[in-house]
Structure 1
Amino acid sequence: MTAEDSADAADEPLVELDAVYDAIDAVGRPHLTATELSRKTDLSPEQAREALEALADDGEIQRQDVSGVESVWYPTDVAEVTDRERVILFPDRREVVVEHPDQFTRAQLSQFARLQDSNRSGGYVYELREADIWAAPHETLEDLLSTMRDVLGERSTHLEEWVTSQWERARKFRLYTHEDGYVVLEAESDDLMGNVARPKLDEDLLRAPISDSESWVDADATAEIKRTLYEAGYPVRDDRELATGEPLEMELRLRLRDYQADWVERFTEQGSGVFVGPPGSGKTVAAMGAMAAVGGETLILVPSRELATQWRDELVRHTTLTDEDIGEYHGGEKEIRPVTIATYRTAGMDRHRKLFDQRKWGLVVFDEVHHVPAPIYRRSANLQTKHRLGLTATPTRESDDEEEIFTLVGPPIGTDWGKLFDEGYVAEPEVEIRLVPWGSDDERTEYAATSGHDRRQAAAGNTGKIDEIRYTLAEHPAAKALVFVEYLDDGKAISEAIDAPFISGETRHAERERLFDAFRRGEQDTLVVSRVGDEGIDLPDAELAVVASGLGGSRRQGAQRAGRTMRPAGDARMVVLATRGTTEEDFVRRQMRHLASKGIQVTEQEAHAVEPSTD
């Protein structure tokens, strides 16, 4: 062979485009990975990857990258004529990669998988974990598998066998009330009781064996029993007869929406649970429906005094309860009544705790229940003999211990966010990340010279954001707007720059309420708010949320701030600012991850107020 012939052979592609089409037809999707091409041809995985890269260089195919997952390739013309949404299952890793998913697809995936990563090109990575299957909001295994097959578009025997095993694992142990009134832990088999429960639970928890598969347990220690077995990989079903407490006569003054009535019905059947729904979906009203259904004296736990006052007002407005029926127990007031609203902090203190333990509550409501796993709030969840109801839009916690919520309070009960958007109960927000250039070279230099918390604070305080805030407010001149900040100095600077009041933890309670009331009445159209506005405070008419800075990458905080705009009427917009080229970019993408998993479209672009520099 001549040198010229060798050169010609080297220029020949390892695989023709037609072979890629044949491989795509064989896998049954309009895309494939290098590994799949290798399996359908005589090429090694490395040769297949080189061949695909060569075709991409020639413009014949396109590549989709998602962090941590093998790249996906598809012909250019196929991308133009087929549905942009593509779902790729990796059953061995229990991962699902979705390109450009629509809202319904993401809502379905959130029922059995957790969003782990996303990129700027519209790719999302979901992971199926044991806890996701244990807490899946389905009544039967077949319902769960049906949802999975619908969204994945294919069946994987390997994955479905694993899902089935986890579904069954979550039903190996249960607590029930014996006819003589004591509490029994029952295992599915003698082996599970002998080799799992009894070695894990000490004598203080297991009083005495009843049979080889049943044990009499300490009724006051059921929270510890649940925690211990959960950590061993066995969630415990709670089928006990829960206390109803002293009777409470109350009726609702309004009619529940259909989905709220369904939540209440499912809660009364189970005796415990967590209402999970977007802000504005009426979880508080549904909780009042649960109170009426239980008909027993109720303890409501909240994270702040503001929420306690808000709960009291809502109960008087929407039920037949009067002020005399309702007590507040916190740093400002200490009254226990048939319905008592207490802060988590106060209720967890030893000197107050006996008062709450001695009362025969029929129901305990944990508002903003995502606080429960935190050490200071966790003790309140030991009230295990009562009906237990949690409320949250965001059970996600950055410590990844949200399973503690469902273990100690109850299983999730909720409606797909997309369904509420479609039916007009809640406005779907338009969420946009904007990357803001530095306001000055000095700020950029200061950022480069710092590290850790100081670096995060430097990025948060980028003065270039002030121009972008002004621009955004001018884009929506009629919108009632909230500007969120993380640091007090930034809040004061922005407040002065846009001539709007700044509300923080330093703001006196009376002044804070005056400003919030003015905002509700439309007398004040813009507020700058620190972390005190992240949860619980009722600002129903906010139409625009501008996040100037946030708490690291907290997904919960991102969803709560978006929730300030998610009301039935009007538009709902959220603009999240991040200093371009800094760690803040990654933080805001993490913050938006929970919203994306619920089907909300999150877009990203450069800031509008300032042209990005070319350096």
Structure 2
Amino acid sequence: MTDDEPAAGGGSGGGRPDKRHDGEERGESDVGEFTLSTFHEVSGREGRPVLTASAVANALGIDQSEASDRLASLAERGELERLSVSTDPVVWYPSELEDLTARERVVVFPKRREIVVDRPDQFTRAQLSSFAHLADTNGERGYRYVVRAEDVWRAPHEEIEALRRTMRQALGQRSAELEAFVESQWDRARQFTLRSHPEGYTILEAASPEIMGNVARQKLDEEQIHAPISETEDWVREGEEAAIKRLLYEAGYPVRDERDLAGGDPLEIELSVSLRDYQRDWVDRFAEAGEGVLVGPPGSGKTVAAMGAMGHVGGETLILVPSRELVRQWADSLVELTSLEPDQIGQYHGGRKEVRPVTIATYQIAGMDRHRSLFDDREWGLVVFDEVHHVPSDVYRRSARLQSRHRLGLTASAIREDDRGSEIFTLVGPPIGTDWEALFSAGFVAEPELEIRYVPWEEDAENAYAAAEGRERYRLAGENPGKIDEIRYLLASHPGAKALVFVDYLDQGEAISAALDVPFVSGETPHAERRRLFDAFRRGERDRLVVSRIADEGIDLPTADVAVVASGLGGSRRQGTQRAGRTMRPAGGATVYVLATRGTREEEFARRQLQHLGRKGISVTERTIDRD
């Protein structure tokens, strides 16, 4: 079998399968009942809707004459048709060919550890997402998954047998080579464990003296380890748990954290709203592990689920967020949606310094030496990291020292352009999420329509672009004045809709603001004015805003109907997710327009940003704008 050939069932000798579809062993001559379903299975492996008797014989490990008899039997029942062609005496195909084309099909490429699925149903996608990474999809019928080491490490299964069952159900077959890889990575993820010693300190335990000596004691030094206790146990220095996790993860050995986490001073918290089924599943999975990262699209209710986790822990809680606006939003939501009173909630940022049973602070101030002791010294039962993709950055990493508490992260996308996204799960906890498309299908979150619109230059601007170099060319493409007319046209096409226009450049934001007579909110806007404008937008008293990067994440604008991205296409894929997410909500009809200047690198940037959303099941269209 070449590297590009699909698996034919995991058996040996001419690609013959060694298992029935239901997993029971059989001999070569015992192929069981030959039905139309059997034909479909072989057709799926072969990757074509018509089969010869020899292809069926090879796939099932039987003689060609026996295969011909069985095919003829199905033809007599009207389930197959036969056709003579020049390259083979007879080919066979289903009488109802659409039955084959409408059927979910799975093809495995074990050497590449890839799984290609045609028309997978929601259950199959959920199964695959528990041990594989969705690498690509066209948003309609074709899905490509890759099984990576980290996907196996994070698989939500207690026993390897349960993971095997999930794989076989999802694939409809056994793949011995793929299962061997999964089992090896399953074992890797169980070589090291952090435990609490009865005397109160932390120990690192290895599965064997060899793995301790050859890996841990080679990668760790006196900064992380106080002293060996035995051949398989080391005494961990206080506060170095995060460093140990990170170093061993980078060596290919994730660490299981089974310490007795601090519960903090008791604090009763009850939700005044009911959790959706998937939110309850998130909370249950967090409760079982004591840590985790909720990964879901904007509008899926991660904040409400986090409040459910707070209720489960029942202890004092520290919530870390990236901005002062999010501090206030959390405080307001906690009062509205839980049994907490306002005097139980503290805000800790540049303008206020309150430490209370539930304290909401910015990452930046929590990481400062003069403030960090306030958080380290208090016995928090839970630490919530909102917009958790900030945690690995150099500015915010110190806040992850709070390793002795229950930890919960929230994010729409854990992608980081510096490839340090794995640290999120290393420092905070494993991902806990739900298939985006499943939430769209169930109606919990509206799937926005995304359209890239390639806008022509204004003549003078194009000449300036041709004469410029480097970053200046990128800025000129982003600020193309021709985009103002396009924004005006798009907003007129959605009368009465709430709309946000995103920009990366202050001069462009001010120009659009003046042209449309719409307020521009940026980092230079005073906090009080910023809050007044966002509140007016939220209440429906204002239906248009031009916003800078400050609205890319966290700002609670759940009722936006239209988003127009005028510039910033060289930003991260996460930024594209956040901007699209400003329109996601239970009601439908939301639209995102991305404006790219035609004939510039903005075209490439637009496709790159939105390709990530396409892989999550959101459809993306493109349109070239002509002005003659």
Tell me the TM-score range normalised by the shorter chain.
0.7 to 0.9
2:476 maps to which residue? 458
Q: Which of 459, 463, 480 in structure 1 is aligned with 2:498?
A: 480
Q: Is contact 1:553-1:588 (8 Å) kept?
A: no
Mapped to 1, the partners of 2:514 and 2:49 lie a distance apart of 53
Q: Which of 331, 340, 348 in structure 1 is aligned with 2:350?
A: 331
Q: Which of 587, 593, 597 in structure 2 is aligned with 1:575?
A: 593
Unmatched runs of 5 consecutive residues or more in structure 1: 1-23, 33-39, 41-77
1:518 maps to which residue? 536
Q: Which of 166, 172, 181 in structure 1 is aligned with 2:185?
A: 166
1:277 maps to which residue? 296
The structure-2 alpha-carbon separation of the partners of 1:588 and 1:114, relative to structure 1 and needing over 3 Å to count, comes to farther
Q: Which of 363, 366, 370 in structure 1 is aligned with 2:389?
A: 370
Q: Is contact 1:105-1:599 (8 Å) kept?
A: no
Structure 1 residue 374, shift from structure 2 partner: 0.5
Mapped to 2, the partners of 1:109 and 1:494 lie a distance apart of 45
Mapped to 2, the partners of 1:601 and 1:146 lie a distance apart of 32
Q: Is contact 2:596-2:602 (8 Å) kept?
A: yes
Mapped to 1, the partners of 2:374 and 2:139 lie a distance apart of 53
The structure-2 alpha-carbon separation of the partners of 1:171 and 1:341, relative to structure 1 and needing over 3 Å to count, comes to same
Mapped to 1, the partners of 2:104 and 2:614 lie a distance apart of 15
1:445 maps to which residue? 463
Q: Is contact 2:498-2:560 (8 Å) kept?
A: yes
Q: Is contact 1:266-1:413 (8 Å) kept?
A: yes
2:418 maps to which residue? 399
1:216 maps to which residue? 235
Letter in structure 1 aligned against 2:486? E
Mapped to 1, the partners of 2:548 and 2:160 lie a distance apart of 44
In the TM superposition, what whole-angstrom CA distance separates every residue of 1:235-285 from its partner, at most 9, and x where no partner exists? 001010000111113322222222222211211211111111111111111
Unmatched runs of 5 consecutive residues or more in structure 2: 1-41, 51-57, 59-96
Structure 1 residue 205, shift from structure 2 partner: 2.2
1:242 maps to which residue? 261
Mapped to 2, the partners of 1:224 and 1:99 lie a distance apart of 42
In the TM superposition, what whole-angstrom CA distance separates every residue of 1:297-325 from its partner, at most 9, and x where no partner exists? 11110101110011111111111212211
| Equivalent pairs, count | 543
SS at match of 1:220: coil
2:61 maps to which residue? none
Letter in structure 1 aligned against 2:558? P
1:92 maps to which residue? 111
Structure 1 residue 381, shift from structure 2 partner: 0.5
Mapped to 1, the partners of 2:162 and 2:174 lie a distance apart of 14
1:564 maps to which residue? 582
Letter in structure 1 aligned against 2:275? L
Q: Is contact 2:196-2:260 (8 Å) kept?
A: yes
- Give me the TM-score of the superposition, normalised by structure 1: 0.81
2:69 maps to which residue? none
The structure-2 alpha-carbon separation of the partners of 1:486 and 1:92, relative to structure 1 and needing over 3 Å to count, comes to same
1:428 maps to which residue? 447
The structure-2 alpha-carbon separation of the partners of 1:551 and 1:341, relative to structure 1 and needing over 3 Å to count, comes to farther
Letter in structure 1 aligned against 2:310? M
The structure-2 alpha-carbon separation of the partners of 1:223 and 1:398, relative to structure 1 and needing over 3 Å to count, comes to same
Q: Is contact 2:561-2:583 (8 Å) kept?
A: yes
Q: Is contact 2:503-2:548 (8 Å) kept?
A: yes
Structure 1 residue 145, shift from structure 2 partner: 5.1
Of the structure 1 ranges 451-460 and 400-409, higher mean CA displacement relative to structure 2 is found in: 451-460
2:364 maps to which residue? 345
Q: Which of 593, 597, 603 in structure 1 is aligned with 2:621?
A: 603
1:504 maps to which residue? 522
Mapped to 1, the partners of 2:103 and 2:590 lie a distance apart of 26
The structure-2 alpha-carbon separation of the partners of 1:447 and 1:125, relative to structure 1 and needing over 3 Å to count, comes to farther
1:545 maps to which residue? 563
2:488 maps to which residue? 470
1:12 maps to which residue? none
- 1:318 matched to 2:345? The reply is no
Structure 1 residue 578, shift from structure 2 partner: 1.6
The structure-2 alpha-carbon separation of the partners of 1:263 and 1:81, relative to structure 1 and needing over 3 Å to count, comes to closer
Mapped to 2, the partners of 1:154 and 1:459 lie a distance apart of 51
SS at match of 1:448: helix
Structure 1 residue 408, shift from structure 2 partner: 0.6
Q: What do you get for the CA RMSD once the two structures are aligned? A: 3.0
The structure-2 alpha-carbon separation of the partners of 1:27 and 1:270, relative to structure 1 and needing over 3 Å to count, comes to closer
Structure 1 residue 290, shift from structure 2 partner: 1.1
Mapped to 1, the partners of 2:44 and 2:193 lie a distance apart of 47
- Give me the TM-score of the superposition, normalised by structure 2: 0.80
Q: Is contact 2:194-2:204 (8 Å) kept?
A: yes
The structure-2 alpha-carbon separation of the partners of 1:163 and 1:452, relative to structure 1 and needing over 3 Å to count, comes to farther
**Identity across the alignment (%):** 65
Q: Which of 224, 228, 231 in structure 2 is aligned with 1:205?
A: 224
